[in-house]
Structure 1
Amino acid sequence: MDEHNTPQRLLILVGSPRRDGNSATLGEAVRAGAEAAGSEATLLYLDDYLQHFLGDCRRCRREDGECSLQDNFRSLLFDHFLPADGVVFCSPVYWYGPSAQMKAFFDRGFCYYAASYPQGASVLARMAGKRIGLVLASEETYPGVGLGIIHQVQEYTRYIEGAFVGVVQGAGNRRGEVRHDPRQPLVEARKLGEHFFTRHYSDYRLATVRKTQVWN
């Protein structure tokens, strides 16, 4: 909790439609850890909100500036994403990239932070400064399987001037099989949720003033 004893809000977005899949299993572990730490945690499935990919905003934007695509993305963005203090993206690894639902989430945001949207500057301001985490589920266990997704989310986080505080990777093929990964990704996912708002984060620049040691 913050200094005013208000629970910090963590949004967990699952990019797989499988409610009992490995991404969802890991996301639930993140939620359990966050709630144990006193955070307000919400887990949502992107396919409940997204039914369309990004269109051509110059052609399909409504006259009042709103997106004309008929689904619940706007509600997801304004009611859940923008108010959150932190967000954990949970995705299966599909062809060494995120799920189509997860990619669409990032793309569709352009409709609302672009200069052509009347409140675009306000949306950008509310996007900024969030803590971001990533949870991946894959069939393959080699360490580089998720590097493309990690890089994308890391650069997204830098773009919004946020803090990319952690990655958890779990392996499994059948639904829920990630529980048997000997690397214990469910334990790590729970830790990510539990320490999400207190985990040490450092991202140095040449001009960064820093101590001569990392840990006290």
Structure 2
Amino acid sequence: MNRRFLFVLGSARADGNTELLARRAAEQLPGDVDQQWIRLAEQPLPQFADLRHDSDHTRPPADTATGALLDATLAATDVVIASPLYWYSVSSLTKTYLDHWSAWLRTPGVDFRATMAGRTLWGIAALADDEPSVAGPYIGTLNNSAAYLRMRFGGVLLGNGSGPGDVLKDTEALARAKTFFAQDAPLARFPHETP
């Protein structure tokens, strides 16, 4: 399967620092790698309803935001969560997307867990703090989500930026962006698991 990157943009603002950093990293991908960019703010998902014990799940129609995003996720070899760091974790738009994974795990005919196993999850985030350790919960959310599905985890590319375009002044983040997707992503593991 040729590599296909799905960039899930979780910011409420277009062309924000996280998206700018994601686009810099994506510029380094080979020309034959397919890229699909979905801005969650433009295709809002309905609030997630946990129906595990109440009713059967059905596959969302392809012509809905949920169905289109499910299809794009299933088609991707690499899913890139590009969400700014909001209150030390992912944005609410991104969290809703990840919550829908729970429904997709139970949707007949999707086989979401088996399909995603072995694929790669990446994260890109801008934060307004000089201390990257504040992104620990964000990184944990993505790593543990990948581990649950037996995906690979490429880590998180962090950049500093609060005001518009600030991340483009973060020379270290821009340098890391040049090689971010070139690394071999290991199989994700929960913190309590041993290699």
- Measured against the shorter chain, the TM-score band is 0.7 to 0.9
Q: Is the 8 A contact 1:60 1:67 kept in 2?
A: no
Alpha-carbon distance in 2 for matches of 1:157, 1:59 = 24
TM-score calculated relative to the size of structure 2: 0.85
Against the structure 1 CA distance between its residues 60 and 201, is the aligned structure 2 distance closer, same or farther, given a 3 Å change threshold?
closer
Against the structure 1 CA distance between its residues 55 and 9, is the aligned structure 2 distance closer, same or farther, given a 3 Å change threshold?
same
- Aligned-pair Cα RMSD in Å: 2.7
Could you tell me which residue of structure 1 aligns to residue 14 of structure 2? 19
Could you tell me which residue of structure 2 aligns to residue 88 of structure 1? 80
Against the structure 1 CA distance between its residues 64 and 23, is the aligned structure 2 distance closer, same or farther, given a 3 Å change threshold?
closer
Q: Is the 8 A contact 1:33 1:191 kept in 2?
A: yes
Offset at residue 51 of structure 1 (A): 3.5
Offset at residue 49 of structure 1 (A): 2.6
Unmatched segments (≥5 aa) in structure 1: 1-5, 209-216
Q: 130-139 or 52-61, which moves further after superposition?
A: 52-61
Offset at residue 84 of structure 1 (A): 0.8
Against the structure 1 CA distance between its residues 203 and 42, is the aligned structure 2 distance closer, same or farther, given a 3 Å change threshold?
closer
Residue correspondence of structure 1 range 134-213 to structure 2 within 5 A:
134-183=123-172, 185-193=173-181, 195=182, 199=184, 201=186
Across the two proteins, how many residue pairs are aligned to each other? 191
1:69-103 Cα offsets, whole Å, 9 max, x none, are: x950211111x111111111111111111100111
Alpha-carbon distance in 1 for matches of 2:119, 2:50 = 28
Could you tell me which residue of structure 2 aligns to residue 108 of structure 1? 100
TM-score calculated relative to the size of structure 1: 0.77
Report the secondary structure of 1:49's partner residue.
coil
Unmatched segments (≥5 aa) in structure 2: none
Offset at residue 21 of structure 1 (A): 0.5
**Larger Rg: 1 or 2?**
1
